[in-house]
């Protein structure tokens, strides 16, 4: 019974770490261009005036809210299908851990945002090219995840490679690797034990 509780606690820990990554993403600073006079905003004890035509750096979560209200435009090139396709090409053609390319920071989260935005566009105007774009992006993402997961599983067999690999992994993948490594080690210990 103790192992069951340990497993549940481990899953809760993983969930918590993934939530912390989401929080880090939402708190990251992003530049915005104010497009509508919106008065003053208090951020971390600093009062900022939202004057049309000014550029500000604010937390991403606030930029999202203000952009939804058409008060600002986020000055950041959003992820596009070609970006996902480039990562897909690189990942699929990777034959070893040494060749693995580092993912852009928040890659998985930004792909999720990209897919959510595509869903909104499709609901508004269900054009065939948007639907095809979404299918292609999802296909690319599943291939990327599958290939990188296979490389992670190979890394588990040789724990010394994690040092070189960790700099190439996304934060989500490091969390997954640590969990898989502990599970495999526990499994080996149980299977190889004499009792």
SS (H, E, C) 3-62: HHHHHHHHHHHHHHHHHHHHHHHHHCEEEEEECCCCEEEEECCEEEEECCCCEEEEEHHH
> Above 60 in pLDDT, residue 2?
no
CATH code of domain 1-76:
3.40.5.50
Domain boundaries, the chain: 1-76, 77-195
Mind listing the pLDDT tens digit for each residue in 59-110? 999 999 999 889 999 998 889 999 999 999 999 998 877 788 889 889 999 9
Write the CA distances from 45 to 7, 41, 183, integer angstroms.
41, 10, 45
Which CATH code fits 77-195? 1.20.58.2050
**Angle, in degrees to the nearest 10, between helices 128-157 and 107-124:** 160
75 φ, ψ to 5°?
-95, 80
User: What is the pLDDT at residue 144?
Assistant: 97
pTM here is 0.82
């Amino acid at each position: 019974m103790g192992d069951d509780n340990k497993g549940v606690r481990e899953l809760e820990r993983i969930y918590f770490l993934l939530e912390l990554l989401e929080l880090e993403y939402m708190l990251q600073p992003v530049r915005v261009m104010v497009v509508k006079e919106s008065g003053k905003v208090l951020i971390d004890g600093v009062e900022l005036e939202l004057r049309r035509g000014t550029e500000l750096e604010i937390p991403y979560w606030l930029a999202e809210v203000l952009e939804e209200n058409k008060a600002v435009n986020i000055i950041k090139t959003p992820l596009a299908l070609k970006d996902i396709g480039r990562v897909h090409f690189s990942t699929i053609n990777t034959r070893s851990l040494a060749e693995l390319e580092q993912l852009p920071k928040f890659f998985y989260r930004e792909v999720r945002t990209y897919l959510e935005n595509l869903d909104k566009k499709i609901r508004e105007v269900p054009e065939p090219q948007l639907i095809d774009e979404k299918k292609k992006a999802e296909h690319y993402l599943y291939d990327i995840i599958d290939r990188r997961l296979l490389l992670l599983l190979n890394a588990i067999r040789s724990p010394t490679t994690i040092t070189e690999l960790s700099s190439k992994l996304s934060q989500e993948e490091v969390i997954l690797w640590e969990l898989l490594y502990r599970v495999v080690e526990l499994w080996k210990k149980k299977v190889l034990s004499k009792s």
